[in-house]
Amino acid sequence: MSGPLVVLGDTLLDRDLEGRVERLSPDAPVPVVDEPTERRRPGGAGLAAALAAEQGRREVVLVTALAGDPAGRDLAALLAAAGVRVVDLGLAGRTPEKIRVRSEGRSLLRLDRGVEPGAVGAIDAGALRALALADAVLVSDYGRGLAADPTVRQALARVPSRVPLVWDPHPNGATPVVGVRLATPNRAETARLVPGVRGDSLAALTTQARAVAERWRAAGVAVTLGARGALLLVGDGSPMVVPARAATGGDPCGAGDCFVATATMLLAAGAVPSEAVAGAVVAASDFVAAGGAAAALAGRRRDGSRAGAAREDPAVGWERAEAVVAAVRARGGTVVATGGCFDLVHAGHVANLRAARALGDCLVVCVNSDASVRRLKGADRPLVGQADRASVLAALEFVDAVIVFEERTPEAALDRLRPDVFAKGGDHALADLPEAALLASWGGQAVILPYLPGRSTTRLMKEVVRRANSRSGR
């Protein structure tokens, strides 16, 4: 039987107040937030534990210190609802709270309460038992004293070397114990630790990561770079850079917790650090695009099976497409869609997709399924399966999301997306597009993009056959 994933660290209460902004206050140039609704969730180590539990792969135990005030009781209930088993060491003080005032997905103001750390109770038998049984340990240090407690550090130092220990540091937190499998400072934290190396080039980041690894005697250091992904350095080897997928809109709040929770879960399952970091970058990118922490525990994000090496491409599917569309609409942008079979993607496809993306603020590509292509093109098509075709398209920098549809034309998909513009490439006339009337029904516009002559999948296939026949002497 597999052991639990143990998260140890400081837990906060995160509160989002979301309302409408339609005017400025008459007594000051500040927005008036009408009828805000409140959403509460665990923050800090509590969020990392909740995100790990959401994946549903193993028991998650959170060793933390909760106060006895109303906010602390709220935290305990939220963690229990998320499926996290809490070992509470007790906090003599006030529950730290982080409050964001938001409108249309954007933060207007942040208020922090309980900023002074309180006294943490001594580590107990329950915490020691959890650490002894753990398949992996994540220290999520938010600088409030738990990771600096001498008895806690002694217990962490006794974690067997076979058990992955991941340390997510904080600028005001403790130095990791010796023997950490993976430390995950962000770019600013790394620069602060190594002030003699300036700049954020890959060479500078590598030098900083190597210095941090030596100082902390960590086996590996993954420097998280926000929208740029992460840089991983293990031992004396060359660095591995894992780029993040570009996200349109979204909310980065909690992305770091998603990253470390996913990386630790993958290490617990036997992944090597490179696999864990690669999976964590993908999961964090998807997390941001889907709305961040505000959406994560409300059931509007990926399911646990999508975290890790075996997950589907995060830019493919309705969840990603609808998140992208919602983010663009929230800031008044233009949603563009296009569609086609895209069997053997060629220069003509690329030119049309780039031109379509230039028409607005995001591009959703609707791809015919394999069955749909067979109905349109014949039994010998497609040459490339729908999953691979969608993945190739999703890899293009000007494609924000891809969905696969089963019908002959993407009208049902478009009716669900309701784009402002539908762009179609090729030798079509506007009157020939069945999608044109549908777009007009909600005020959208169908457009034709210039056709790049001499480029088509059929032409490529014929040329391959011609050359094969020529070589065989036929």
Mention every residue, 6+ apart, whose C-beta is less than 8 A from residue 220.
Answer: 181, 182, 183, 213, 232, 233, 234, 235, 273
CB atoms within 10 A of CB 316: 22
Q: Please pick, among 135, 141, 168, 257, the residue that the annotation labels catalytic.
A: 257
257 part of the active site: yes
What would the two tokens of residue 406 be?
Answer: 């089963």
C-alpha of 110 from chain center: 22
Q: Give the DSSP per-residue string, 320-367.
A: HHHHHHHHHHHTT--EEEEEE--SS--HHHHHHHHHHHTTSSEEEEEE
What would the two tokens of residue 71 be?
Answer: 């906010």
Q: Which of 174, 184, 241, 192 is nearest to 213 (CA)?
A: 184
Q: How far apart are CA 320 and CA 363, in angstroms?
A: 12
Q: How far apart are CA 174 and CA 131, in angstroms?
A: 19
Mention every residue, 6+ apart, whose C-beta is less than 8 A from residue 472.
Answer: none
Q: How far apart are CA 336 and CA 422, in angstroms?
A: 6
Q: How far is CA 440 from CA 224, 364, 409, 421, in A?
A: 45, 18, 16, 10
Catalytic residues: 257
